[in-house]
Structure formats: structure tokens, C-alpha cells
Structure 1
Amino acid sequence: MHELNESSFDPITFVLTGIPGMEESHIWISVPFCLMYITALFSNSVLLFVIATERSLHEPMYLFLAMLAVSDLMLSTTTVPKMLAIFWFSAREISFDACITQMFFTHFSFIVESSVLLAMAFDRYVAVCDPLRYPSTLTPSVIGKIALSAVLRGFCIMFPPIFLLKRLPYCGHNVMPHTYCEHMGIARLACADIRANVWYGLTTALLSSGLDVVLIAVSYGLILRTVFQLPSPEARLKTLSTCGSHLCVILMFYTPAFFSFLTHRFGHSIPGHVHILLANLYVVVPPMLNPIVYGTCCTNHAVFCLKLVAIRLHATMQSEHQMYLELLSPLEASQPWLCLLPSWREAQQSFHLELCIAFLSSARSRDALLRVSRETHGTALCGGAKGARRAG
């Protein structure tokens, strides 16, 4: 018993075999993975550079996109280089400490990315369903707290498995049929009871990423409900297209990850090469697609939200203006000469316009809102004051 306990702390070298049963095809399999990894590196790096250097992009939507790019780079860089080394150079050996480190950063970056995807879903929910409160809800301090909580969440979840794995004796079992180190892949090599590892992994996965999936689905459901209430078929179609592309990328991220996670515990009849191929997909395909899909759709999403704000402001101004006129009608009845003053009508229009625009924080947002409002509603929203000046 003493020897078993000592063996758990001895230096161990693991052997990663790659994709079991497909060793002869490793060179061909490496080609698409290498191309996807290069694409992910280039697109995410360019995206980070553009967001960092362009001050106009320092807004919640793009800051979340930058966080997603960082987590994508971490997830793919932690796993793909070792995978390619196995495919190209048969560099299958990895030390115990290096394997634990790779396991930590792989799962850590996955949890952080899941948290960022949830934050982005919340960002879109506020922008579409409650646009007037968007600037006051997602302030820079709130975004910073979200980023810090995502990092702390990933660290707190992945710190205990380090000790759960180090306490286990491995009795010389060191061959792992995988291309990178996973928590349960390492634990299954132990010659001891691993129920603590199994239950910890199952509980944390369901309460972290599983809960994220549920909340993301609820967020998109509320967004779609709001979109279907819009009168414009074009706006509905554009938003459905954007949400559809987002959901496809999210499914490509979560489906292989949960498949790999559940296969370790319940899918013993699933062929090993299917399991490992799908486990490799979620570390390279989403990092490749995220900057392309989200980077392209963010601009369309921002324009759509700006138009939605303009529509809601138009409805709000009409309601408030009608109430305002009802309150002033006794004064106009007793003082009919007021109606003859062009400045009276002009003051009514400009007062309500500025009151509603005050919901937006930056001067650039106000200018953009006025421009979209004029294009969307014409004189109904912004032409009243100009008409009054011409009448004067």
C-alpha cells in the first residue's frame, strides 16, 4: 500500500497514441486540422488587433468578441500543436506534469469560452429586448466583472482535478488512446477507485456548461419572441439568419464536447476513433468559425439593434407627445395666441426628441440614432422641428 501511494507522485511519462485505429491515416488527417488551426490563429489574431486598435469598437459587443477570440486561441493552441506533433513526428510521449497542465488549460479555456458565449447571449438579449437600457446595463465596469468572473469560474472548477489526479496511483499504465490529455482520460489509467473524479466531472459539467446551454437557449428564445413581434418581414428574416448562424456555431462547440464527456462515462460501446475525432473537432472548428461568423454578423446585428431602438423611440415619443398635448390643451384653449407661434410647436417636437435621445450615452450613438431614425421614419420622427422652422 505504501508503494502504491508513493507511485502516485513519481514522475510518469504518458504515451498519446493519436486516433486509435487510424494511425496510417494520421498524415492525411493532419492536413485539415493544420489548415483549420492556421485559419483560427490568423482570424482571431486579426480580430484582436482590429478591436484593440480601433477605439470605436471598444463597445460591449466587440469586447465580448475579443474575449471569445482569446479563449479560442488558448483552447486551440493548448491542444492542436501536440496533436500535429503526434501526426507528423510520432512525438507521442508527454510527461505527467505536462499532461496535467494541458488538461487544466484545455478544460479551463472551454469553461471560459462557455461563459463568454453566455455573456454574448445576454448582450444580444438586452440589445434586442430592452434596447433603451442597453448603455446603462452593460457598462465598462460590468463587462470587466463578467470577464473576471469567467476566469475565476474556470480556475475554481479546474483547480481541484489537479489534486484528484495527483492522488491516484497509475501502476505503470501510461498508454492513452487520445491526441491530448483530458481529465477522465488520465483518470482511467489509474489502478484505484476513480468515483470521486467521475462524480466531480459530471457535477461540474452539468452545473457549469450544462447550465450555460440552458440559459443561452432561453436568451435566444426571448430574442426570437421579440423579433417575431416586429412588423417588418425583412427584419425578422435577417435576425433569424443571424441567430441561425450563431446557433450553428454554438452547437458545433457544445455537441462534440458533451459527446466526448458523456462517452468517457457511458458510451463504452462507441468506437474509439469516432470519440477521438469528435473530441478533436470542438478544439479547432469553433475557434476557426467564431471570428468569421460573429465578426461578420456583429455589424449587421448592431445596425438591426440601432433600427430597433429608433422604432421603439418613435413609438415612445408618439405616446409621450400625445400625453404632453393633452396636458397643454387647457393652456392652449385659454391662450389661443400660443398656437400662432412657430416656436411653440418647434419646442414641443425638439423637447421630446432630446428627452428620448438622452437614454443613449455617447454622442456618436446619438448621431447614428438620428441618422437611422430619419432613414426609417422620415419626417414622422425628425422632420417636425424642421417643418416648424420652415413654417416660421
Structure 2
Amino acid sequence: MTFREPQGGAQETTDQPVPVADTGTEQAGLDPQQDPGQQRPEAAESSARRVLRDVLSGSALLSVLAVVVSLLIGGVLIAVTNPQVITASGYFFARPGDTIVAAVQAVGSAYGSLFRGGLIDFSAVGFVAGIQPLLRSLGFATPLIAAGLGIAIGFRTGLFNIGGQGQILIGGALAGWVGFTLPLPGALHLVAALVGGLVGGALWAAIPGVLKARTGAHEVIVTIMLNYIAFYFIDYLLGTPVLQAPGSNSPVSAPTPTSAQLPQLFGSPVNLGFPLVVLLVLAAAYLLDRSSLGFKLRAVGENPSAARTAGIDVKRMTIAAMVISGVFVGFAGAYQVLGQTTSGFSNAFDAGIGFNAITVALLGRSRPWGVFWAGLLFGVFQNGGYTMQAANAVDLNVVSVVQSLIVLFIAAPPLVRAIFRLPAPRGARA
């Protein structure tokens, strides 16, 4: 800031800058001449990126502790809604031990059923029968892992891809259309249907990528709106000859031919989709950690301005990240359709996977193998939850509450550190 001589010319002037007290507006991304209550879009964008970096920079220990706290709170919900606990609490002050015992038994029985239904049933006869729950859990986990990888790639690039539902619907619908429309021989039919799913997911994810790169449209808003568009678009096509089964009056597609179905492995509940998703994990790990493209994506996610200064085309990387993300999510859609053996698909085959994949990506800290183990955990929750509901009359929504709590604690690392009295990371600000 400089003082200029008034037109009268009587006052002495100086061209030396005058120190001004730092008000923090520059660090906050605000224009000093602007109303402090009005924040620029660039500042909001950088704040969102900082929050995303804080969440993804947490340790694996924090993820484990977040799951532990969520299970503990879920146990409290199971206990307070259990009929035996409610009955015993009526005379709590006379015999408090009865309430405590009933609560422990209710929680232990519920989580025991969750374990037996999702991992290993020790009451079954034989090893193969005992691991059937785990094999079924792998089937639930496969689309979660694939979609979680896609969301994680977006996160690592600083993009919030909330459009998993729409990308699954478009990818799965295109895979199903290829499956029951194109008469191809043998394994070529399955390959073509899978490619159709990948292409469908990529194309639907490319739309918000292009809009963000070319116009600055926020990907969260665009992807959420595209979810609705995809849902109603598929719903419309299921009422037309494009997707509707011939001769049917219901909004259901024709069943996928056997040649385009994902084959079961050795007669188990696991089909070819699980080995393929393991390959996707390896591909994502190589892409993000070993390839030059992955380095550029991560650089854009860390600091777009620095990446642009280093010669990286940020707009091109934004589009590439969304397309690659859509490819992985599209595989989840193809799995949902091509894994069915008896009937066609409706407009609800996404089964909430698009949104659960966000939780999986956050729990896995957007690292490919972290996403893999997080997807397995959620597969166990989903499969074992049905057993817990049937054996203990526990509402299946308790599992959803636990999953939601995991997101809450993953998004609030300081809260987890405070609960377990863990030290703050070195260099963290107060």
C-alpha cells in the first residue's frame, strides 16, 4: 500500500510500503476488499480439498478404531431395543445385574450371529460348509470393492464422485443390453457384455468430468443430478422394447443368456467377478502408485495450482480421473446384472452400492488394498446382517447405522483420537 500526493501538492509523500496487520484474509482465501462473510468459490473449493486430504491422510489405526467405536455404539442400540433388556430395566434399581447380563447376552448373541452369518459357521459340518458364509460375503463385497476403487481414484484426484448410483445403472443396463441383444459365441459374449458395462460407466462419469474441466461446474452437484437422470432414464427404457423383456408388461429386462453370465467358481457362491475385482485392485494400485498417469492424478489432487505450474494439464487430468473412476464403477454395474442367473434386471439393481462405495473408499483411505479390505468388511456386514436379523430379531437397519457411524468417525479423525486419547499427528495445527 502506498500514499499518493494530494492534488494540492502541499503534503510530503512516500513511495515506501506501509506494513499492514495481517487479518488472516489472505490465508483464508478471501479478498481483503471483499465482505469477509462472502467467500470466493476458489476458497470453497480449496477448503473441500483440504478436508478430503485430512480424511485420506489418516492412519489405518484410525480406520480400525472407527469400526470399533461404531460397533460399540451399535451394541448399545441392540441392547436398548432388546425385549429382555427392556423388561429387566423395569426393576433395574432392585436387581441391576439382570439388566447388565441381559444386555451382554443380547449384544453377544447378535454379533455372534453376524460373525456366523458373514464369516465362518463353526456349527456347520465340514470345512466347505463352514466357509459358505464367507463365500457369500465375497459375492456381496465384489461390487462394493469395484465401485469403491472408482470413488477412491476420484478422491485421490481431489474429486468427489457421488455419481456411483447413476454409473452403476448405466453400466449395468448397457452390459445387460449387450448380453441379451448381441448373439455372440462363447466367452466373447461375456467379454463384450463386461466391456459394455465399463464403457457405460465411463461415459456417464465423463459428463461431470467434462463439465467441471470446461465450465467449472461442481462435480458433486452434477453427479447427484445425473443419478436421478440415470434412474428415470433406465426406468423409461424398461417400459420400451429397448430393455423390456419381450411380451412382458412389467418393467423388467430379459434375462441374461448363459453365455454372458459370470460363471460360478467350482460350484461355490463366488463367481468370476471376484477374481476379476482382485485384478482391478492390482490395476488400481499400479495406476496410482507406479504409473506416470497416477502421479499426475495424485499431483492434481494434492495441489492443482502446483500441478499446473509443473506443466500438468489439470483439465485433462480431471476428465481422465472421472472416466477411469467410471470404468471401475461400471464394472460393479455389470457384475450386478451379469451375475444374475434366473431373471432380468429392474431399475433398482444398484441396491445402494453407489453410496455404500463412498463409505468403503473412505474407510479404505482411498488406497486400493485398503478399499479391498473395507469392501470385504462391508460384505460381511451385509451378509451377516440377514442372519443376525433372522436369529435374534435385530432390525437390519442396525447394520446401516453402524456403517453410517463408520463414515462419521472416519470423517472426524480428531474425535477418534480424543476418544482413545491418541496424540495428534506431528505437524498438525491446533
The alignment's TM-score, normalised by the length of structure 2, stands at 0.27
| Higher Cα radius of gyration | 1
* More helix, by proportion: 1
User: Per chain length, whose mean CA-contact separation is higher, i.e. which structure has more relative contact order (CA < 8 Å, sep 6+)?
Assistant: 2
